[in-house]
Chains A and B, each alone.
Chain A
Amino acid sequence: MGKNIAKSREKLPYWRRILDASLPVDLSYIPIGLACGILLNASGFNVWTTLMVSVMVFSGGAQFLIASLLATSAPMYSVILMMFFLELRYALLGSSLSKYLHGQSLGFTALFAASMNDENYALNYLKFSTDKKFTPKEALHVEHMTLVFWTISNLIGSLIGSAIHIDLTIVHFALTALFLYMIVVQLKNGLIILICILSGFLAAYFMVLTKSTLGLVISTIVASFIGFMAEASIRKFFPNSSLLRHIKNPAGSPEDVDE
């Protein structure tokens, strides 16, 4: 039966497969993009600058930050500096995808980097690590599909302006749920669960300490490095440790190609 499903998926047109792969992000971008467009409009952006920022920056968090900083009349260099710290984590996304994008052309790499963000990275990382046939070109098109949904939602938000009210904290939970899903599917053994908990505490600690999202970057580097070192030492000294034993998956997902 599984084969039949796989076969009928192969028959779908290419754009439909890309749409299917990116749909959870596409759909959550609609309310968030609308809210973002509304806020940018309120902080003085017109339709064209909204179009420009959603294509060129393409990051929900960054665009919300721009909107809120413009409202406080912060100087331009401080907005750009905060943006830098906010966007620094993308270096980690790029690093962790690099083994799948090895040897691509310069133009492709630049194009791929330009529209990579947390959400489409989540989609692509999962696809690359579970589907051997997934190509870098498909990953780029997944990025562009999410970009289209994001930009159109931003523009509509900018046009309707403040005519409707959206509760931002509730809408934003769509992304939190997406990240929670990504965490759950990656919890393959006890060590990863421990690293996950550690990362949560480190994130809170470093964000309070740095008063910025730079804390995200520091905690991610520290937690992932501890995970890497712990795995290496456990493999060396306690090869039969239960920490690295696979946790049973109730839904039975496809085998990981990393293993």
Chain B
Amino acid sequence: MEWNTTQHVWLILGCFCVAFAPRLIPLLFFRTRKIPNWFNEWMRYVPVSLFTALVVKDIFITPDYVVSVVNRAPEMIAAVIVIGIAYWTRSMAISVVLGLCAVFLLALVV
């Protein structure tokens, strides 16, 4: 089935609504209300948990949502390299650039 441009526009508007609502509602809810302390303490663990989940998805989960390590050696080795670089340099830019170089070179070799 080929979609035409009007359908694409409707699709984008629909996607905008479902993308915008989850981004807006929590910010709107806490905009004027006092944020309870326990909530802030809970939320402090959100970034590290979410980023770990995203990394696991990127490295170990296939597009069909199966855990797999097949052909993932370059990413796995590069991930270890990035962790080391990030730990020692604390530089986001160096970590990203050297990580990309590492995965590119490893993909040629492994």
Partner pick for A253 among B25, B79, B90, CB 8 A cutoff: B90
Interface size range of chain A in the complex: 35 or more
Contact A90 B45, CB 8 Å, known A180-B86, A181-B95, A220-B53? no
Contact A173 B100, CB 8 Å, known A44-B3, A90-B22, A216-B57? yes
> What A residues does B73 contact at CB under 8 A?
none
> What A residues does B47 contact at CB under 8 A?
96, 122, 125, 182, 186
Q: How far in angstroms is the closest Cβ of chain A from B15?
A: 5
B46 and A178 contacting across the interface, CB-CB below 8 Å: no
Which chain B residue lies CB-closest to A79?
B11
B65 and A212 contacting across the interface, CB-CB below 8 Å: yes
B87 and A173 contacting across the interface, CB-CB below 8 Å: no
> What A residues does B19 contact at CB under 8 A?
56-59, 62, 83, 87, 90
Which chain B residue lies CB-closest to A52?
B12
Question: Chain B: interface secondary structure?
Answer: helix
Q: Tell me, yes or no, whether A249 is within 8 Å of chain B by CB.
A: yes
Interface residues of A in 117-134 (CB under 8 A from B): 118, 122, 125-126
Contact A24 B3, CB 8 Å, known A91-B25, A99-B35? no
> What B residues does A66 contact at CB under 8 A?
11, 15
Contact A80 B18, CB 8 Å, known A92-B46, A112-B27? yes
Which chain B residue lies CB-closest to A206?
B53
B61 and A207 contacting across the interface, CB-CB below 8 Å: yes
Q: Tell me, yes or no, whether A192 is within 8 Å of chain B by CB.
A: yes
Chain B residues within 8 Å of A, Cβ to Cβ: 1-3, 5, 7-16, 18-20, 22-32, 35, 38-61, 63-67, 74-75, 78-79, 82-83, 86-90, 92-93, 95-97, 99-100, 103-104, 107
- 14 A-B residue contacts at CB 8 Å? A44-B8, A45-B8, A57-B19, A59-B19, A76-B10, A87-B23, A90-B19, A95-B43, A101-B27, A102-B30, A179-B51, A203-B57, A207-B56, A220-B46
